[in-house]
């Protein structure tokens, strides 16, 4: 069969997304018979609801641990939109000081849209994107912001990054111009942070997901633009592919 050629997406300029999210999702869908597509979505949604919408890998957890756990002191990580706290629980087992927060933590009688009454894997603090990043006593000493599969079509992720004024590191898990976050948070990361490391994550075949680590600071004008190939993953010019 003929190999399909994928056009890299330039990260230097995020473009506006259509108002209809279904059109956006359809653009990224894998071509398949409708029955197969329905089965694939159901196969993904059930474990995603029970665990997390982004699949962690041992390498991804290792990279986060290496980033925040130092020999002398450990950075405090605040996770916004933690859901069940699955990623946070795994990181806590590896010695990471992470405080998971969610506007509506799942559990008994929870109104969480994505996880409902699924029991959390660790204690998830009730806090919205802004208070969990700047105003809450939980996060006043936080130096790392963790966004794991931020809700698409909402301002949750960009609100968290805007409120994150004291730390220098943002760890993002999800798609780029895909199912997570919105254009605003992508533009903000490109404007105020440098992409340090990325890692392609396991997926269910419905989307592309990456772990990316960003450091605060404007890029020098002579530095090259970053490019991602959405279908296969990868920063074509980033030297720090994990």
pLDDT tens digits for 7-66? Answer: 443 444 444 455 555 565 555 555 556 676 677 777 788 888 889 989 999 999 999 999
The two beta strands, 227-228 and 9-10, are antiparallel
The residue with greater pLDDT, 139 or 146, is 146
DSSP-assigned letter for residue 235: B
Express as a percent the part of the chain with pLDDT over 70. Answer: 67
Task: Determine if the pTM surpasses 0.95.
Answer: no
Q: Which of these, 104, 136, 135, lies nearest to 120 by C-alpha position? A: 104
What is the model's pLDDT at position 182? 86
96 confidence band (pLDDT: 50, 70, 90): very high
CB 111 within 8 A of CB 148: no
Token code pair at residue 91: 């990181």
212 backbone dihedrals φ, ψ, rounded to 5°: -125, 140
Give the burial class of 17: count Cβ atoms within 10 A of its Cβ; 0-12 exposed, 13-18 middle, 19 or more buried: middle
Give the model confidence (pLDDT) of 173-218 as tens digits: 998 877 788 889 999 999 999 999 889 998 876 677 899 999 998 7
| Alpha-carbon gap, residue 132 to 121, rounded angstroms | 19
DSSP-assigned letter for residue 25: H
In angstroms, how far is CA 56 from the centroid of its own chain?
Answer: 11
131 backbone dihedrals φ, ψ, rounded to 5°: -65, -30
The two beta strands, 210-216 and 193-200, are antiparallel
What is the model's pLDDT at position 107? 78
The number of residues making up the chain comes to: 242
In angstroms, how far is CA 199 from the centroid of its own chain?
Answer: 12
């Amino acid at each position: 069969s003929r190999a399909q050629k994928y056009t890299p997406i330039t990260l230097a300029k995020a473009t506006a997304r259509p108002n209809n999210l279904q059109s956006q999702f359809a653009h990224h869908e894998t071509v398949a018979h409708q029955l197969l597509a329905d089965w694939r979505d159901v196969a993904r949604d059930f474990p995603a609801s029970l665990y997390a919408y982004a699949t962690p890998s041992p390498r991804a957890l290792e990279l986060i641990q290496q980033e925040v756990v130092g020999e002398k002191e450990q950075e405090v990580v605040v996770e916004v939109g933690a859901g069940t706290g699955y990623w946070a629980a795994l990181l806590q087992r590896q010695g990471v000081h992470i405080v998971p927060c969610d506007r509506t933590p799942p559990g008994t009688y929870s109104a969480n849209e994505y996880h409902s009454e699924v029991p959390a894997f660790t204690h998830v603090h009730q806090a919205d994107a802004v208070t969990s990043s700047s105003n809450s006593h939980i996060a006043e000493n936080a130096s790392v912001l963790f966004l794991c599969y931020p809700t698409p079509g909402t301002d949750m992720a960009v609100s968290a990054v805007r409120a994150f004024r004291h730390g220098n590191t943002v760890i993002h898990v999800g798609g780029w111009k895909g199912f997570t976050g919105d254009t605003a948070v992508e533009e903000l990361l490109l404007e105020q942070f440098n992409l340090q490391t990325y890692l392609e994550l396991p997926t269910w075949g419905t989307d592309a997901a990456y772990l990316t680590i960003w450091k605060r600071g404007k890029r020098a004008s002579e530095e090259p633009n970053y490019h991602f190939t959405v279908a296969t993953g990868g920063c074509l010019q980033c030297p720090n592919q994990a």
